[in-house]
Structure 1
Amino acid sequence: MLTDEVLAFLDRHSVGRFSTVDPGGQPHIVPVCYGVEAETVYFSIDQKPKQAAHRPLKRIRNLIHNPRVALIVDHYEADWTQLGWVMIQGQAELLTHGHEHTLAQPQI
């Protein structure tokens, strides 16, 4: 459950680091822009110029193998008393179409 404090922190930021794990147990972390609706975090996985032709992105391959993920969103300032971060762990789901996919689009 995401607290009001966590939701407010997420609302003040827009970039996080999304972590998956490959079949060999190696973590894979990428930056993502995200949006939040209720207690669900959404982000887009679009086509990237660096993507190998006809091969899904590594994060997609990892999700298919293991849907357990983590997202960390942090705030940095030179004054370390102002540092902050939130980590969310859970299960990810690929939404390629349907009602929830349509509802998620304005969030991201």
Structure 2
Amino acid sequence: MTTTPKAYLQITLDVDAVNRAAAAKVYTSYKEPFLTSIPGAVSKDLLIRDEDVQVLHGFNNVEEAQAYLQSDLFNHDVVTGLKDLLNAEPEIRIYRVN
């Protein structure tokens, strides 16, 4: 049974087209650890547009989305894996589902 997210963490990444495969590899590498080890994580999707790449994370609530941004998985693994691929700081937004 899939849980419906009650909050979303959206991270928009400015990544050149030539680096998108490498960015997708970071996403793929950490998707399963995110879903199995981060409290409240219920989904993770990669959205690709011509102008940017977005990662949409689903959570049970806003507090768990905020906590993920402080986690070792995010700060030590994901951020480190992406840092040389980004043209600018990621845009981070958290949304509550009503």
Q: Give the TM bin, normalised by the shorter chain.
A: 0.3 to 0.5
Structure that is richer in strand per residue? 1
TM-score normalised according to structure 2 size: 0.38
| Higher-Rg member (1/2) | 1
Which structure exhibits the higher relative contact order, with contacts defined as CA atoms closer than 8 Å and separated by 6 or more residues?
2
* Higher normalized helix content (fraction of residues): 2
The TM-score with structure 1 as length reference comes to 0.35
